Amino acid sequence: MKDQAQAGFEYSGVENLEAMKEAQNYNRFLLDLVRRNLVGNDILDFGAGAGTFALPFSTTDVVVICVEPDPDLRNTLSAAGLTVYSDLQAVPSSSVDCVYSLNVLEHIEDDCAALAALYDRIRPGGRIIIYVPAFNLLFSEMDRLVGHHRRYRRRDLVAKMGDASFQIDTATYVDSLGFFLALVYRGIGNKTGVISPGSVKIYDRFLFPISRILDRIMLGSFGKNLLVVGTRPL
């Protein structure tokens, strides 16, 4: 039987995935975020996409395995020499030290089952790094296009991870300026949900660095995204 954590997880919105390749500062920020929170040497990228984050880690001392249900993206990962599985069922219990999942959990209908399954794959003392879109107030045609079931509030995701038996280490909102721009997009943005590479590039080069400064001033009190880091207790 297919693992519950993968049930209903089909990626759409390839145009937006391609556009996000222009987000160099944003992707570098996410890569650094994962690096700062990594523990151990056996790492799982849950929802690896085209390998934006798995590929840089594959050149280091850590061992990265990927879970990616989309067959085309999975072929891209395999062609790059990464170990990739179509679903989480193929990953043995207590086999990894750390899981990171960036903008993936919102695609999964039963996110509670996904968190429980990820907990089972992590060794005691290991860590999980979850990064997701925040605030249903910002839910737009872009979310619908790419197959989001929800956006998250901090208290809700913390509660779900607690129910999965994770100990919460960090829970903070990210990209405070992006919150307001996403609100504007929801109100007056295009009705297709497609984002252009040009708009991504402008935001990434000129506005995202300002947003990171504002995040420090606002102490993670709100933002377009949410970061939660947890540990599987010993």
Domains identified in the chain and CATH numbers: 4-231 (3.40.50.150)
d(Cα 117, Cα 109) in Å, to the nearest integer?
14
* For range 130-144, the mean pLDDT: 95
* 169 half-sphere exposure, CB direction, 13 A CA radius: 13
* For range 91-101, the mean pLDDT: 98
Q: How confident is the model at residue 136 (pLDDT cuts 50, 70, 90)?
A: very high
Predicted local distance difference test score (pLDDT) of residue 19: 60
What does the chain come to in residues? 234
d(Cα 103, Cα 137) in Å, to the nearest integer?
17
- Is a pLDDT exceeding 80 seen at residue 61? yes
Predicted local distance difference test score (pLDDT) of residue 153: 98
* For range 13-30, the mean pLDDT: 77
Q: What does the pLDDT look like over 22-58, one tens digit per residue?
A: 789 999 999 999 999 999 999 999 999 989 999 999 8
Task: Work out the percent of the chain whose per-residue pLDDT is above 90.
Answer: 79
Predicted local distance difference test score (pLDDT) of residue 14: 58
d(Cα 161, Cα 154) in Å, to the nearest integer?
11
Give the Cβ contact number of residue 210 at 10 Å: 11
Residue 178 · residue 225 · CB < 8 Å: yes
* For range 7-19, the mean pLDDT: 54
User: Which residue has 């061992």 as its token pair?
Assistant: 63
Residue 25 · residue 205 · CB < 8 Å: yes
Average pLDDT over the chain, rounded to an integer: 91
Predicted local distance difference test score (pLDDT) of residue 6: 47
- Is a pLDDT exceeding 70 seen at residue 7? no
Q: What does the pLDDT look like over 173-226, one tens digit per residue?
A: 999 999 999 999 898 877 777 878 888 899 999 999 999 999 999 999 999 999
More confident residue, 1 or 206: 206
Strands 225-231 and 167-174: antiparallel
pTM, to two decimals: 0.92
Predicted local distance difference test score (pLDDT) of residue 13: 58
Predicted local distance difference test score (pLDDT) of residue 60: 82
Name the token pair of 111: 């996110």
Closest CA to 22 of 56, 52, 54, 59: 52
